[in-house]
Amino acid sequence: TKYVYRFGGGANDGGAGDKFLLGGKGANLDGMASIGLPVPPGFTISTEMCTRYYQDGEVFPDSLKAEVAEGLRHIEAITGKNFGDAADPLLVSVRSGARVSMPGMMDTVLNLGLNDATVEGLAQVSGDERFAWDSYRRFVQMYSDVVLGLDHDAFEEALEIMKEDNGFFSDTEMEAKHWKALVAEYMALVQDQWGKPFPQDVHDQLWGAVAAVFGSWQSERAKVYRRLNDIPAEWGTAVNVQAMVFGNMGDTSATGVAFTRNPSTGENLYYGEFLINAQGEDVVAGIRTPQYLTRQAREEANAKPQSMEEAMSETYAELARVFDILEKHYRDMQDIEFTVERGKLWMLQTRSGKRTAKAALRIAVDMANEGLITEEEAIARVDPMALDQLLHPSLDPAAVRDVLTKGLPASPGAASGLIVFDADTAERRNEMGDSVILVRIETSPEDIHGMHAARGILTARGGMTSHAAVVARGMGRPCVSGAGSLSIDNKERVLRIGKRELREGDTITIDGTTGEVMMGSVPTVQPELVGDFGVLMGWADKVRRLKVRTNAETPEDCRVARDFGAEGIGLCRTEHMFFEASRITNVRQMILAEDEAGRRAALEKLLPEQRADFHSIFEVMAGLPVTIRLLDPPLHEFLPHSESEFAEVAQAAGVGVEVLKRRANELHEFNPMLGHRGCRLGVTYPEIYEMQARAIFEAACDVAAESGAAPIPEVMIPLVATRRELELMKKVVDVAAEMVFAEKGRRIEYLVGTMIELPRAALMADEIAEVGEFFSFGTNDLTQTTLGVSRDDAGRFLTQYVDKGIFARDPFVSLDIEGVGQLIEIAVQKGRKTRPDIKLGICGEHGGDPASIAFCETTGLDYVSASPYRVPIARLAAAQAAL
């Protein structure tokens, strides 16, 4: 096997620039060189070598030596310099690069090939002694740190002392003799810490660095990052060895980083920073304050030091030309690293730039409008889940803020809530209806349920790629991480920020977009769904086949969902309406009644209330289909708890408290999830469904009469397992409908169908479709009943199941396509056999998950239904699935 691929100087062994083989960095160096851009020549040792290196027990095959020698000769031929030549040495950088850019990998080593002899040659040929010794000290420090693993601080300290002793403030004041003296100190440090002298043989230096890059693939840091980001260990990293170019050769030299468009707003303006007479990562390392790339940016920031556009206008023009070439070539916004050596521009890296959701949207829309990509590509470019960031409220710019502290803007959006210090409390308080902010020193996988339950997450430790940050972004929760001035006392349950003390239950607001943490609850504003967002959604709507509905049961939610583009309601859960404080007593009276007459008396009181509920929903959804699920949960969920609650019900029903308590006891169930619920309630107490059906049709007729636009009710019977169940329940609904139509003197179009949420129902779908006019896949229960896993208890083991690879993802979040999906396919096929035009949809949590939506597209469902804030995500995901 060939492991070494040359680039530059007309040799492009990597061909099209294969990322899997060459890593991202290597592939794009190869790509840039192949389109004639100025790239210093070099070679890439492939990712396959990394894999083999570990298979063989961390040794290199002999063949590699010859290939690397060949690679070096390639660089030597083009540069006219020889590696290790004391008169005019070739220097190289050694750079790691996996398929995706990955923190945790070895840092780049620059100026490799310098030693006590070659440094003199470099000084000679460059005519710049200071530059040569500056390069040498950089090399020794970097090599000692990243390859030899010596204590980095000792080197920094030596430099600081040297500056202090000379009364210097900045590195730029150091002269050749100072750098030379520093190198001598570094050499002593190496001898002291490593026990051996610094490697003087340039080939030892090179192989040491190459082994260190491959070694870093299995570093703890890299492993953690891979685990959090689902990156397989088999991918491996590549090593890039490349001729050095020097940004530190005086005032006509520079180094910089740039984006071809603004990565936070998406604006089509070059965006970047550079530093004159500097090398490598000086710009990002913050050694000196970098200067702006463009004059406009400098002027906007009111900064003094000249921009690159002003200071090096010719090179800047060349760079701008390269930006355009790169965008046209890669057809995406690029993140670029470059160096200017004595006025000559060199390209050192390009990749598709990371961007905020807002920028992703704007860039996709702009590029399609510019004709650089198609509308379809624009649709495919935006991650539906990233839209989540845009759909969340942001802080009202006009609101007064009492800022407590600032951390890292780890996951966008703003959230207010009560402080809680642990995940269990977060979950408990959330169930009680409180909004909470989970405050932790740092988070770990055990906190996931609490992070989910929280409106936002705040941590004292951890960076932008900490566990909290990565998970919060994945969940779409706002997160501020690494707020270092927080001191959290978990025992006392207090949070201290400077002199201020906050306790559990106090309200704070976090802004994950800016990193600010504020006292109290700061008002938020709803996102604007116009502009680029509206344009992209419009394109998505043109290509998608699946309809998108929403799961909603209040007029407010319905309105939000319609604004987000919902085309109907896929699931309206009627029991939520029963829980309302004003009606719960009547509901309880109904449940605890001894006989039908007692129940009817209570239902009589509930009817106008339900009718009003449906009326207000139908008004919002006029003209659109509304799927209403008749009462589903086990009755005992509505039971009174306290003495006073029992007393209230007793009074309403006109019976004794003792009678009620006995009835309540009788309703106890061992396994309510599989107990007296769903259509079983309707079978035993048909009067409940009769009342609900009546409420639906009365409201529908009224809205039709008032507005002229009738809703299309789709009455859904839950938890059906057999044809006969559905037949009985449909009869109840049809009879109620006919009675209402006769009373109101008008007919309304409606359907009666069922949830498919039991495996038997899926298997018997052909029979069930003889009665049911539509199926809605209730994938929450279908997942529970197919896997035999209770969603409410799964938290204790599901994380491990995912860690151990038993499930690729939480099956309650992303549909188990192989198992549950198969049942859906069977039901679709059998249902259509009986009733070719049967309406099919999905109303579980999965209806808002892009992977599950893709499955719904393949299976040919008619619609998906998602929670209101997920509707745009579903629209985009449905479009992507249809491409």
Binding site for ligand ADP (CB under 6 A): 40, 93, 95, 108, 110, 242-245, 255, 280-281, 337, 339, 348-349
Q: Which is nearer to ligand ADP, 18 or 281 (CB)?
A: 281
Closest distance between ligand ADP and the C-beta of residue 499, in Å? 40
CA atoms within 13 A on the CB side of 556: 0
Question: For Mg ion, which residue has the nearest CB?
Answer: 349
Q: Which is nearer to ligand ADP, 7 or 421 (CB)?
A: 7
Closest distance between ligand ADP and the C-beta of residue 313, in Å? 22
Q: Which is nearer to ligand ADP, 43 or 750 (CB)?
A: 43
Tokens 């990052």 locate to 225
- Counting every residue, how long is the chain? 883
846 is catalytic: no
DSSP character at residue 668: -
Closest distance between ligand ADP and the C-beta of residue 255, in Å? 5
34 sits near Mg ion (criterion: CB under 5 A): no
Structure tokens at 503: 């306790």
467 is catalytic: yes
- Binning the chain into helix, strand and coil, the percentages to the nearest 5 are 50, 15, 35
Residue 40 touches which member of ligand ADP, Mg ion, none, C-beta under 5-8 Å by kind: ligand ADP
Q: Which of 467, 572, 701, 846 is catalytic?
A: 467
* Separation of CA 641 from chain center: 41
Q: Which is nearer to ligand ADP, 355 or 547 (CB)?
A: 355
Closest distance between ligand ADP and the C-beta of residue 278, in Å? 9
Distance CA 831, CA 850 (A): 25
Residue 416 touches which member of ligand ADP, Mg ion, none, C-beta under 5-8 Å by kind: none
Spatial neighbors of 711 by CB under 8 A, at least 6 apart, are: 618, 621, 622, 623, 624, 625, 626, 700, 703, 704
Closest distance between ligand ADP and the C-beta of residue 97, in Å? 7
Pick left, alpha or beta for residue 17 (phi over 0 → left; psi -120 to 50 → alpha; otherwise beta).
Answer: left
Residue 19 touches which member of ligand ADP, Mg ion, none, C-beta under 5-8 Å by kind: none
Closest distance between Mg ion and the C-beta of residue 412, in Å? 25
Contact status, residue 750 vs residue 706, Cβ threshold 8 Å:
no
Residue 875 touches which member of ligand ADP, Mg ion, none, C-beta under 5-8 Å by kind: none
Q: Which of 392, 843, 846, 856 is catalytic?
A: 843
Residue 610 touches which member of ligand ADP, Mg ion, none, C-beta under 5-8 Å by kind: none
Q: Which is nearer to ligand ADP, 351 or 392 (CB)?
A: 351
- Name residue 457's beta-bridge partners: 438, 479
Residue 348 touches which member of Mg ion, ligand ADP, none, C-beta under 5-8 Å by kind: ligand ADP
DSSP string, 204-248: HHHHHHHHHHHHHTTSHHHHHHHHHTT--GGG-EEEEEEE---S-
Q: Which is nearer to Mg ion, 108 or 586 (CB)?
A: 108
Residue 339 touches which member of Mg ion, ligand ADP, none, C-beta under 5-8 Å by kind: ligand ADP
Closest distance between ligand ADP and the C-beta of residue 109, in Å? 9
Structure tokens at 105: 């990998």
Residue 319 touches which member of ligand ADP, Mg ion, none, C-beta under 5-8 Å by kind: none
- Total chain residues near Mg ion (CB under 5 A): 3
Residue 27 touches which member of Mg ion, ligand ADP, none, C-beta under 5-8 Å by kind: none
Contact status, residue 510 vs residue 454, Cβ threshold 8 Å:
no
3-state secondary structure 67-103: HHHHHHHHHHHHHCCEECCCCCEECEEEEEEECCCCC
DSSP string, 368-428: HHHTSS-HHHHHHHS-HHHHHHHHS-EE-TTS---EEEE-EEEE-SEEEEEEESSHHHHHH
Q: Which is nearer to ligand ADP, 90 or 737 (CB)?
A: 90
3-state secondary structure 694-746: HHHHHHHHHHHHHHCCCCEEEEEECCCCCHHHHHHHHHHHHHHHHHHHHHHCC
SS3 label, residue 494:
strand
Q: Which is nearer to ligand ADP, 110 or 189 (CB)?
A: 110
Closest distance between Mg ion and the C-beta of residue 107, in Å? 5
Residue 244 touches which member of ligand ADP, Mg ion, none, C-beta under 5-8 Å by kind: ligand ADP
Q: Which is nearer to ligand ADP, 49 or 94 (CB)?
A: 94
Crossing angle for the helix pair 129-142 and 118-126, to the nearest 10 degrees: 140
Structure tokens at 691: 């009342």
Helix (H) or strand (E) holding 840: strand 839-842
Q: Which is nearer to ligand ADP, 12 or 111 (CB)?
A: 111
Span interacting with Mg ion, options 230-238, 348-356, 465-473, 562-570, rule CB under 5 A: 348-356
Within 10-160, strands assigned E span 42-45, 82-83, 89-90, 92-98, 109-112
Residue 93 touches which member of ligand ADP, Mg ion, none, C-beta under 5-8 Å by kind: ligand ADP
Q: C-alpha distances in angstroms, 413 versus 358, 395, 463, 468?
A: 12, 8, 17, 15
Contact status, residue 477 vs residue 393, Cβ threshold 8 Å:
no
Closest distance between ligand ADP and the C-beta of residue 103, in Å? 9
Closest distance between ligand ADP and the C-beta of residue 279, in Å? 6
Q: Which is nearer to Mg ion, 285 or 705 (CB)?
A: 285
Give ∠ CA 735-740-742 in degrees, rounded to 5. 95
Q: Which is nearer to ligand ADP, 88 or 281 (CB)?
A: 281
Distance CA 715, CA 626 (A): 8
Task: Single out the residue of 869, 768, 827, 852 nearest to residue 561, CA to CA.
Answer: 869
Contact string 72-111 vs Mg ion (x = CB under 5 A): -----------------------------------x----
Q: Which is nearer to ligand ADP, 276 or 720 (CB)?
A: 276
Closest distance between ligand ADP and the C-beta of residue 80, in Å? 16
Sign of the C-alpha dihedral computed for residues 822, 826, 829 and 835 taken in this order = negative
Span interacting with Mg ion, options 240-248, 296-304, 349-357, 801-809, rule CB under 5 A: 349-357
Taking CB under 5 A as the criterion, which residues in 302-341 touch Mg ion?
A: 337
Residue 242 touches which member of Mg ion, ligand ADP, none, C-beta under 5-8 Å by kind: ligand ADP
Closest distance between ligand ADP and the C-beta of residue 471, in Å? 24
Residue 255 touches which member of ligand ADP, Mg ion, none, C-beta under 5-8 Å by kind: ligand ADP
Contact status, residue 148 vs residue 172, Cβ threshold 8 Å:
no
Structure tokens at 589: 């009276």
Task: Single out the residue of 779, 842, 756, 813 nearest to residue 570, CA to CA.
Answer: 842
Task: Count CB-CB contacts under 10 A for residue 517.
Answer: 25
Closest distance between Mg ion and the C-beta of residue 25, in Å? 7
349 sits near Mg ion (criterion: CB under 5 A): yes
Contact status, residue 81 vs residue 89, Cβ threshold 8 Å:
yes
Structure tokens at 382: 């935006």
Task: Count CB-CB contacts under 10 A for residue 491.
Answer: 6
Distance CA 158, CA 799 (A): 47
Interface ranges with Mg ion (CB under 5 A):
107, 337, 349
Catalytic residues: 467, 843
